[in-house]
Amino acid sequence: MNMIQAINSAMDVMMDRDPTVVVMGEDVGFFGGVFRATAGLQAKHGKNRVFDTPITECGIIGVAVGMGAYGLRPVPEIQFADYIYPALDQLVSEAARLRYRSAGEFIAPMTVRSPFGGGIFGGQTHSQSPEGIFTHCSGIKTVIPSTPYDAKGLLIAAIEDNDPTIFFEPKRIYNGPFDGHYDTPAKSWAGHADAQVPAGYYRIPLGKARIAREGQALTILCYGTMVHVVENVVAAHGVDAEIIDLRSLVPLDIDTIEQSVRKTGRCLIVHEATRTSGFGAELLAQVQERCFYHLEAPIERVTGFDTPYPHSLEWAYFPGPVRIREAINKIMKD
């Protein structure tokens, strides 16, 4: 399966297993979603369980909060992560706080799916990476897969979870892994080991990172599309790096991170979101606090810039192979 098919399969499996799971969002029903991630679900499960909503992100999430409080497990889709901002009040003030302020009487077991990130010439309103906003808000879990296999297992775990989860899907790798070289032919997931996705039920626990590549000289922390870009750079330049795919930002598998950095003594953090207050800043702080006496060089970050995502200069903004290689060279030289 590619990532779209894996995500579709996860929802289909959960709707078969649990009659309280419902899918909702703009164009998710008859049309099957702008990226076709919900294709065929309405025809199989009916219009009462897979239904289109008005174009109102605040309303979509507000209704989902009420559904969760009354025993359903809604899976709302925000068509692009850039449009999630109108729903922030419902997500932060209601969904994230419901369990706490009701002393556990009510919960908000909702999984908000949304394509995020750049690499498809979407410009400033279809390319943003707002994950850092949600990691700041206690009560919300934030999950980002990097492979079809992980996408299905993590989405199932998120749907089963009793807390609200933001499930960001890196749209640049929906159909195949991306090595960061935009001017080379696109690759497919076909034949890729991580595209071997079981048709049935399985889950990947939230809060457990994946070691995408073992190494001894450098730890690289990344997630989503950047996992594949980093893997390509490391392979191309023969760097003995350990690449950790975080999978979920909250909860964070800090134990795996700490063990790796204590072993390698060096750490590079890579993400596509803007630099200031990006999740990389939290990762840097955590590594510095826990591994200071094991570090042999300053921690480096390669990120997007503190600007709107530019359309005409997309590949200057994108943390590509050149900037990652320069950061690796700097760390290894220190």
The Cα 127–Cα 273 span in angstroms is 10
Assess contact for 123 and 309: CB atoms under 8 A: yes
Of residues 222, 116, 113, the one with CA closest to residue 167: 113
- CB burial string 158-167: b at 16+ within 10 A, e below: bbbbebbbbb
User: Phi/psi of residue 10, each to 5°?
Assistant: -60, -45
Mind spelling out the 3-state secondary structure of 38-49? CCCHHHHHCCCC
Cis peptide before 319 (omega within 30 of 0): no
Please, are residues 283 and 235 in contact by the beta-carbon 8 Å criterion? no
Q: Is 181 a catalytic residue?
A: no
Query: What is the rounded CA–CA span in Å between residue 23 and residue 7?
Result: 12
Residue carrying the six token digits 């279809």: 126
Q: Give the tokens for residue 93.
A: 């003030």
Integer-rounded Cα radius of gyration of the chain: 19
Token representation of residue 208: 């457990």
Q: Dihedrals φ, ψ of 121, to 5°?
A: 55, 45
What residue type is assigned to position 134 of the chain? F
d(CA 106, CA 164): 12
Q: What is the b/e burial string over 6-24, where b = at least 16 CB atoms within 10 angstroms of the residue's CB?
A: bbbbbbbbbbeeeebbbbb
Taking alpha carbons only, the member of 80, 79, 127, 114 closest to residue 305 is 127
Q: Which of 45, 126, 228, 271 is catalytic?
A: 126
Of 233, 192, 249, which is closest to residue 319 (Cα–Cα)?
233
Active site residues: 126
